[in-house]
Amino acid sequence: MNIENTQPKDGHHENSRQYNKEKLEYNKQLAVSIIAWIISISLVLYKHNKFKVIYNDIKNIGFSISLVIVIIFSVYCWHSKNQKLKLSAEKASFGLIIAYLSRLDMVFAAYFIIFIFSFYAHDDII
């Protein structure tokens, strides 16, 4: 359920308590899905000794600086009032996650992260 579409465009909701309850349930489901995905990925990474790749990447100063710049820029875009900028940052973030999962040889993990965010996020995110 896309909670964004349940609130009227004028910003008023006849039953704000029900809306808040639905939004809270929506956020709980999203959080549980992401946590389950992170735990599953962590177990696979541990089993296949892929944490070494992540550690080596983080130790690489060029990689770390680039990652910090991308994160800062993405957060800026996500909080922008410009919807096109926000949507572009969301798509680029998915691209980065998918590319890094591919680097870790976790092709199927990319499928599930796309599924989770497509299911819980805006209709036009991907």
Q: Domain locations in the chain? A: 16-120
Angle between helices 107-120 and 83-103 (to 10 degrees): 160
Residues 106 and 84: their CA atoms lie apart, in Å, by 30
Q: Which two tokens stand for residue 96?
A: 């980065």
Model pLDDT for residues 97-114, shown as the tens digit of each residue:
899 988 998 888 888 888
Contacts of 30 (CB under 8 A, 6+ apart): 116, 120
Is 88:77 a contact under the CB 8 Å cutoff?
Answer: yes
Q: Which position has the higher pLDDT, 86 or 122?
A: 86
Is 19:13 a contact under the CB 8 Å cutoff?
Answer: yes
Looking at residue 66, its pLDDT comes to 96
Q: Of 31-40, 56-65, 76-85, which gets the smallest average pLDDT?
A: 31-40
State pTM to two decimals: 0.66
Output the CA torsion sign for 60, 43, 107, 92: negative
H-assigned helices in the chain: 16-47, 51-59, 61-78, 83-103, 107-120
7: left (phi over 0), alpha (psi -120 to 50) or beta: beta
